[in-house]
Amino acid sequence: MDTQASECATALRDKMLIGSEWREAQSGATIPVFDPATGKAIACVPDGSAADVDHAVETAWRAFRSPAWCAMPPAARERLLLRLADLLEANGEALALLETRNNGKLLAYSRMFEVGAGAQWLRYMAGWATKISGSTLDLSLPLPPGRRASAFTRRVPVGVVGAIIPWNFPLLMAIWKIAPALACGNAVVLKPAEETPLTALRLGELALEAGFPPGVLNVVTGRGESAGAALVAHPKVSKIAFTGSTEVGRLIGSVCGRNLKPVSLELGGKSPVIVLDDCDPAIAAQGAAEAIFFNHGQVCTAGSRLYVHQGIYDAVLSRLAEIADGMVVGSGLAAQTHMGPLVSQRHLQRVRGLIDSGIEDGAERLCGAAAVPDEGYFVRPTVFANPDRRPMTLLTEEVFGPVLVAMPFTDLADVVAQANNSVYGLGASVWTNRLDAAMNLSASLEAGTVWVNTHNMVDPNLPFGGFKDSGIGREHGAAAIDSYTTAKAVCLTYAQ
């Protein structure tokens, strides 16, 4: 075994974590896990069913009510989260290698955006544990003479949180859910995506090592339609935190609605990138390339619709095509690679089908047709020009891959109308040094986040979430603390 493979093996866990026990599925069934760069299986994890989910939720429920957790002072929860961040970094290289083997992303991305950003999120949320507060309220109730009333609120944890996450940032998405949930004193049952369960399992193990009481964080592997659906429907789960596709989000939202269960939904996107004519075409092209090609386009805020002012349209597109043509596609473990494989065979077929739809719909393919490695799930970064602004599937459907459609514009009101002409509203970026344009466009764009002269930038202190079909609720910052707690009012009367 080479050094990378043996380091990676130290982090590989292939059982579910319930309480402090590593378990097979009760049915004994398993799900194979693949390396997308080779298409070969690297592990098998339990295919959890409703029975396994029930066991995990009951375990989480007991842990939530146990004095070891519910009576733990906030400062002690803070210390546990800080310790978990330290352990994440101490085991960072093995975790990054495991993530790249399982998801395909560049090793540099795994180091920076899974382990590095993961530790940053844990530390940020650790700080919130000691800053959760309610308010004191004056009341106007009619009271008998000689009595007065007062009231206060407390923010209390909701109970057991069911967290369901996608495969594009497997470790970071897990941390985005568990860090605020645990900072607030909840217990969690985490269900990672069936494609990428490995780093979430190791995260569960590190949480035990950090000193979280067993059962406070459980990791159940399994399929969405069985384990995921059972978690959503479980009566002892008090909140669902979901990141994934709009289609599944809609389904989960309807089940939660019927069961009167709070739910936060971070869903899909079709984010516009708008380049004004005061930009240097080379800088704009670089920005547009990063907006769509980061993480192989498997980013919910990927800048997949590019609107460039007519005056610099040709210059930006030719530079963008050059950048895309120059990208080396290959294994995420190789130092020279700019873009790794897509996550799965199924996803590769979907992305290829959408590229074909662009050609059929009459877009001009500027790059992306060159050969890719035979084995593994590779596509080349692909740029389409759509100078006549024809309607096409690629303009409405989320690809979740490195595929961009570019169009010219001349009028700002018109480009805002085009950018907003989408069921999605997750992110948008504006590229200009004109303050008036930046302010006016950021006010008019229907998106949960509008970036100016950058794209895809997220921060633990910035609320993140979508307008329209891109979701409900906000993650990070104070918004996350609100969403993982509920207000309890205490009202008292006393003699004057």
Scan residues 297-316 and list those touching ligand NAD (CB under 6 A).
300
Residue 174 binding ligand NAD, by CB under 6 A? no
* Contact by Cβ (8 Å): 466, 242: no
Cα–Cα distance for residue pair 376/104, rounded to 1 Å: 9
Residue 400, interface with ligand NAD (CB under 6 A)?
Answer: yes
Active-site amino acid positions: 266
Sequence-separated (6 or more) residues with CB below 8 Å from residue 139: 149, 150, 151, 491
What's the rounded Cα separation, in Å, for the pair 288 and 38? Answer: 29
The count of C-alpha atoms lying within 13 angstroms of the C-alpha of 224, restricted to the half-sphere facing its C-beta, is 17
Shortest-Cβ-distance residue relative to ligand NAD = 224
Q: In the sheet that 303-309 helps form, which strands lie side by side, from edge to edge?
A: 364-367, 382-385, 403-409, 303-309, 271-275, 427-431, 449-452
**For ligand NAD, which stretch binds (CB under 6 A), given 55-63, 71-79, 242-250, 403-411?**
242-250
Residue among 19, 214, 471, 473 that touches ligand NAD (CB under 6 A):
471
Of 185 and 427, the one with the shorter C-beta distance to ligand NAD is: 427
Q: Is 348 in the site for ligand NAD (CB under 6 A)?
A: no
Is 109 one of the binding residues for ligand NAD (CB under 6 A)? no
For residues 198 to 237, the per-residue mask of contacts with ligand NAD, x marking binding by CB under 6 A and - elsewhere, is -------------------------xxx--xx--x-----
> CB of residue 298 vs ligand NAD: minimum separation in angstroms?
8
- For residue 221, CA distances in Å to 8, 34, 45 come to 20, 15, 7
398 binds ligand NAD per the rule CB under 6 A: yes
Contact between 488 and 185 (Cβ < 8 Å): no
In the complex with ligand NAD, the residue whose CB is nearer, 225 or 388, is: 225
Distance between CA atoms of 294 and 302, rounded to whole angstroms? 8
Angle between helices 74-90 and 198-210 (to 10 degrees): 130
Q: Which is nearer to ligand NAD, 50 or 372 (CB)?
A: 50
424 contacts ligand NAD (rule: CB under 6 A): no
Cα angle for residues 476, 116, 77 (degrees, 5° grid) = 55
Which residue number, 381 or 448, has a Cβ lying nearer to ligand NAD? 448
Among 78, 114, 266, 469, indicate the residue that binds ligand NAD (CB under 6 A): 266
125 binds ligand NAD (CB under 6 A): no
Q: Which two tokens stand for residue 435?
A: 């303050």
Please give the distance of CA 130 from its chain centroid, rounded to a whole number.
Answer: 25
Count of residues near ligand NAD by CB under 6 A: 30
Q: Which of 268/408 has CB closer to ligand NAD?
A: 268
Beta carbon of residue 474, minimum distance to ligand NAD (angstroms, whole number): 10
Cα separation, 271 vs 258, in Å, equals 31
- Alpha-carbon gap, residue 55 to 51, rounded angstroms: 6
Q: Which stretch binds ligand NAD (CB under 6 A): 14-22, 58-66, 165-173, 274-282?
A: 165-173
What is the DSSP secondary-structure string of 16-69? EEETTEEE--TT--EEEEEETTTTEEEEEEE-B-HHHHHHHHHHHHHHHHSHHH
Contact map string, positions 58 to 87, toward ligand NAD, x by CB under 6 A: ------------------------------
- Give min distance, CB of 230 to ligand NAD, in A: 8
Q: Binding of ligand NAD at residue 376 (CB under 6 A)?
A: no
Q: Whose structure tokens read 């998106």?
A: 447
Query: Which position among 30, 130, 245, 442 is part of the footprint of ligand NAD (CB under 6 A)?
Result: 245
CB of 430 to ligand NAD, least distance (A): 20
56 touching ligand NAD, by CB under 6 A:
no
Pick one of 31, 119, 175, 193: the residue that binds ligand NAD (CB under 6 A).
193
CB 229 to ligand NAD: min, Å: 4
The reply to whether 118 sits near ligand NAD by the rule CB under 6 A is no
Three-state secondary structure call for residue 178: helix
The helix/strand/coil state of 465 is: coil
Tell me how far, at minimum, the Cβ of 197 lies from ligand NAD, in Å. 9
Site membership for ligand NAD, residue 244 (CB under 6 A)? yes
CB atoms near residue 127 (< 10 Å): 13
Among residues 397, 432, 449, 382, which one has the least CA distance to residue 274? 432
Sites of contact with ligand NAD (CB under 6 A): 164-168, 191, 193-194, 223-225, 228-229, 232, 243-245, 248, 251-252, 266-269, 300, 398, 400, 426, 466, 471
